């Protein structure tokens, strides 16, 4: 009797298929590496967030002071990775939010601590923040210790420009890397440098500490050509000749370097002691006027008050510098040296031609323009 009642129950619908309820959508699965509670985590190459069965809508990685780590989502929004290294010996909290195809949200969190540095390296650069420079300026970054991971350190110095132009870095040895475009900068270019060296391992156990943003603007174009044989310097600004001035260059035996050189320092007056550049006691002038440095080894373009006026434009008598007529005390604004000093800025180019010497080495000063673009950055 019980069996019969069970079989005949339901009244009138015995020949229909039973309905099935739709299965709920699977939740998005969020994975965070490293796992929660991890310690001694590498500052690079370890942190990653992924989503399976959905997309990531928000990822936040924050340090103890609330500072967030920059990162990027993939085009499919199913993975996130940091765009810079993490700080050493720091606790980070990861919060990731994702959703499935139905818009249902899930949140995952993890906390981990990065590895401590055995040692750190310091970084120094040559362009002050907010400065205006000439079209020949190169960014030169030096380090207080030898760098083994040169590609990682170079790539942690991120340069963007407006208008856009390709900028490459080139290593001179293992403690200096310089950056420049293929040709001189276009006047008016705005450049942003993002130093993201903090947490970058430069050598085994040795990490960077610098995380800073710097900007500079390229001013007007000025390129001056010194013809050592003709004893002249033609000053060209934005394609127009401003002035051609008589000069004296390096005497036989102490000729001026050929090549493109960039002004890196300006001194209204400075002392020049031959002993500091290998000339013994041949000269020691305490008040050289209107001096502008062109090389690390001591090449300057500067005023000269001790030679006769007839020297300029006719003879090469210097120890390798480019001399322009001047007056002692740097107080006469009408001299060629004073005029050139007032009309020059850091980053302007002075190119020497027709001298009986070699082309200056690209790392003797900020003079990478003397290296072919095909070789600039090659193998680094």
CATH number, domain of 126, equals 2.60.40.3710
Q: What is the band of 324 on the pLDDT scale with cuts at 50, 70, 90? A: very high
Please give the average per-residue pLDDT across 227-231, as a whole number.
98
Please give the average per-residue pLDDT across 2-18, as a whole number.
40
Q: Which of 71-75, 282-286, 352-356 has the lowest mean pLDDT?
A: 282-286
Domain shared by 165 and 187, yes or no: yes
- Answer whether residue 147 is part of any domain: yes
Domain shared by 209 and 346, yes or no: no
- Answer whether residue 15 is part of any domain: no
Can the peptide bond before residue 34 be classed as cis, meaning omega within 30 degrees of 0? yes
Using CA of residue 310, residue 314, residue 319, residue 323, what is the dihedral sign? positive
Q: What is the CATH number of the domain that holds 331?
A: 2.40.440.10
Domain shared by 134 and 208, yes or no: yes
- Answer whether residue 2 is part of any domain: no
Domain shared by 214 and 227, yes or no: no
Q: Which pLDDT belongs to residue 17?
A: 53
Domain shared by 168 and 289, yes or no: no
Of 88, 113, 138, the position where a domain reaches its end is 113
Of 73, 95, 113, the position where a domain reaches its end is 113
Asked if residue 3 has pLDDT above 70, the reply is: no
Which tokens in the block code for residue 309? 């006026």
Which tokens in the block code for residue 76? 């499919």
Asked if residue 167 has pLDDT above 70, the reply is: yes
Domain shared by 253 and 297, yes or no: yes
Query: Alpha carbon of 102 to those of 28, 48, 98, 335, 339: distances in Å?
Result: 10, 25, 11, 79, 73
Q: Which pLDDT belongs to residue 1?
A: 28
Catalytic residues, by residue number, are: 302, 321
**Residue partners of 240: CB distance under 8 A and separation at least 6:** none
Element (H, E) at 151: helix 150-155
- Number of domains the chain contains: 3
**Residue partners of 295: CB distance under 8 A and separation at least 6:** 257, 261, 360, 364, 365, 367
Q: Mean pLDDT, the chain, as a whole number?
A: 93
Domain shared by 246 and 298, yes or no: yes
Query: Alpha carbon of 329 to those of 36, 148, 291: distances in Å?
Result: 69, 48, 12
Which tokens in the block code for residue 266? 């300006």
Q: Which residue range forms the structural domain that includes residue 62?
A: 29-113
Which tokens in the block code for residue 37? 């509670």
226 backbone dihedrals φ, ψ, rounded to 5°: -95, 120
CA trace torsion 333, 338, 339, 345 (10° rounding) = -130
Q: Is the pTM of this model over 0.75?
A: yes
Report the alpha-carbon distance of residue 61 to residue 95 in Å, rounded.
Answer: 7
CA trace torsion 309, 311, 349, 269 (10° rounding) = -50
Of 197, 218, 239, the position where a domain reaches its end is 218
Asked if residue 8 has pLDDT above 50, the reply is: no
Domain shared by 209 and 282, yes or no: no
Domain shared by 312 and 346, yes or no: yes
- Answer whether residue 20 is part of any domain: no
The residue behind tokens 């060296």 is: 197
Domain shared by 212 and 244, yes or no: no
Say if CB 147 and CB 203 are below 8 A apart.
Answer: yes
3-state helix, strand, coil split of the chain in percent (to 5) is 10, 40, 50
- Answer whether residue 128 is part of any domain: yes
- Answer whether residue 14 is part of any domain: no
Residue 242: exposure state from Cβ atoms within 10 A (0-12, 13-18, ≥19): middle
Q: What is the band of 284 on the pLDDT scale with cuts at 50, 70, 90? A: confident
Q: What is the band of 343 on the pLDDT scale with cuts at 50, 70, 90? A: very high
Report the alpha-carbon distance of residue 166 to residue 185 in Å, rounded.
Answer: 11
Domain shared by 268 and 353, yes or no: yes
Using CA of residue 90, residue 214, residue 351, residue 335, what is the dihedral sign? negative
Domain shared by 91 and 198, yes or no: no
Q: What is the CATH number of the domain that holds 41?
A: 2.60.40.3780
- Answer whether residue 145 is part of any domain: yes
Q: Which pLDDT belongs to residue 280?
A: 72
Asked if residue 97 has pLDDT above 90, the reply is: yes
Say if CB 323 and CB 340 are below 8 A apart.
Answer: no
- Answer whether residue 265 is part of any domain: yes
């Amino acid at each position: 009797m019980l069996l019969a009642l069970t079989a005949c129950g339901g009244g009138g619908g015995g020949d229909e298929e039973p309905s099935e309820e739709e299965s709920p959508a699977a939740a998005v699965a969020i994975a965070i590496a490293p796992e929660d509670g991890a310690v001694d985590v590498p500052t690079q190459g370890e942190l990653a967030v992924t989503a399976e069965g959905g997309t990531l809508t928000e990822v936040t990685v924050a340090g103890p002071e609330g500072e967030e780590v920059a990162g990027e989502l993939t085009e499919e929004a199913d993975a996130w990775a940091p765009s810079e290294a993490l700080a050493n010996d720091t606790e980070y909290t990861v919060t990731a939010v994702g959703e499935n195809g139905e818009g249902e949200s899930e949140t995952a969190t993890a906390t981990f601590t990065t590895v401590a540095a055995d040692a750190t390296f310091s970084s120094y650069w040559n362009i002050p923040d907010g400065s205006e420079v000439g079209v020949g300026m190169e960014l030169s970054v030096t380090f207080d210790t030898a760098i083994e991971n040169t590609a990682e350190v170079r790539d942690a110095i991120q340069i963007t420009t407006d208008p856009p132009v390709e900028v490459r870095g080139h290593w001179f040895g293992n403690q200096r890397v310089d950056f420049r475009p293929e040709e001189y900068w276009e006047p008016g270019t705005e450049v942003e440098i993002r130093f993201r060296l903090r947490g970058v391992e430069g050598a085994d156990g040795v990490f960077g500490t610098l995380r800073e943003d710097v900007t500079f603007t390229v001013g007007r174009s000025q390129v001056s050509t010194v013809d050592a044989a003709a004893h002249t310097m033609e000053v060209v600004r934005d394609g127009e000749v401003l002035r051609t001035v008589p000069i004296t260059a390096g005497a036989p035996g102490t000729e001026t370097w050929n090549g493109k050189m960039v002004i890196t320092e300006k001194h209204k007056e400075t002392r020049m002691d031959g002993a500091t550049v290998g000339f013994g006691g041949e000269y020691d002038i305490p008040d050289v006027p209107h001096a502008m440095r062109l090389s690390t080894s001591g090449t300057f373009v500067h005023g000269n008050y001790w030679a006769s006026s007839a020297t300029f434009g006719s003879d090469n008598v210097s120890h390798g510098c480019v001399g322009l007529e001047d007056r002692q005390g740097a107080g006469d604004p009408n001299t060629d040296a004073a005029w050139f000093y007032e009309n020059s800025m850091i980053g302007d180019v002075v190119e020497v031609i027709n001298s009986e010497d070699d082309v200056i080495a690209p790392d003797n000063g900020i003079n990478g323009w003397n290296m072919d673009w095909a070789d600039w950055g090659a193998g680094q």
